[in-house]
Structure 1
Amino acid sequence: MTAPHIRIRTARAADDDALGELDRATWSPLHAVTPKPQPPYEPFFDARHRPEDFLVAETEAERQGEGEGRVAGYLRLVPATPLACNAHVRQIQGLAVAEWARGAGVGRALLRAAFDEARRQGATRMTLRVLSHNTPARRLYESEGFAVEGVLPGEFHLDGRYVDDILMGRGLIGADGH
Structure 2
Amino acid sequence: MPEPYIRIAVADDEEGLVVLDRATWSTLHAVSPPPEAPFFDERHVPADYLVAETDGRLVGYIRLAVPTRLASNAHVLQIQGLAVADEARGQGLGRALIRAAVEEARGRGARRLSLRVLGHNAPARALYEAEGFAVEGVQPEEFLLDGVYVDDILMGRKL
TM-score by length of 1: 0.86
- Give the residue type in structure 1 aligned to 2:3: H
| Residues 21-62 of structure 1: CA deviation (Å, up to 9, x unaligned) | 00000000101101366xxx3211111110010000112xx3
Aligned counterpart, 1:117: 104
CA distance in 2, matches of 1:54, 1:90: 12
Q: Which runs of 5+ in 2 are unaligned?
A: none
Aligned counterpart, 1:175: none
| Residues 59-84 of structure 1: CA deviation (Å, up to 9, x unaligned) | 2xx3xxxxxx2211000001121111
Q: How many positions carry a matched residue from both structures?
A: 159
- How do residues 14-163 of structure 1 correspond to structure 2 at under 5 angstroms? 14-35=12-33, 41-59=36-54, 62=55, 69-163=56-150
CA distance in 1, matches of 2:34, 2:111: 34
CA distance in 1, matches of 2:81, 2:13: 16
- Give the residue type in structure 1 aligned to 2:26: S
CA distance in 1, matches of 2:32, 2:110: 29
**SS across alignment from 2:30:** coil
TM-score by length of 2: 0.96
- Give the residue type in structure 1 aligned to 2:15: D
C-alpha contact 2:7 2:51 (8 A) present in aligned 1: yes
- Give the residue type in structure 2 aligned to 1:155: E
Runs of 4+ off more than 4 Å = none
How many percent identity over aligned positions?
67
CA distance in 2, matches of 1:103, 1:42: 30
C-alpha contact 2:25 2:33 (8 A) present in aligned 1: no
Aligned counterpart, 1:65: none
CA distance in 1, matches of 2:34, 2:99: 29
| Residues 101-158 of structure 1: CA deviation (Å, up to 9, x unaligned) | 0011111111111111101110010000000000111011000000000000000011
Give the Å deviation of 1:159: 0.4
Greater C-alpha Rg: 1
| RMSD of Structure 2 on Structure 1 (CA) | 1.1
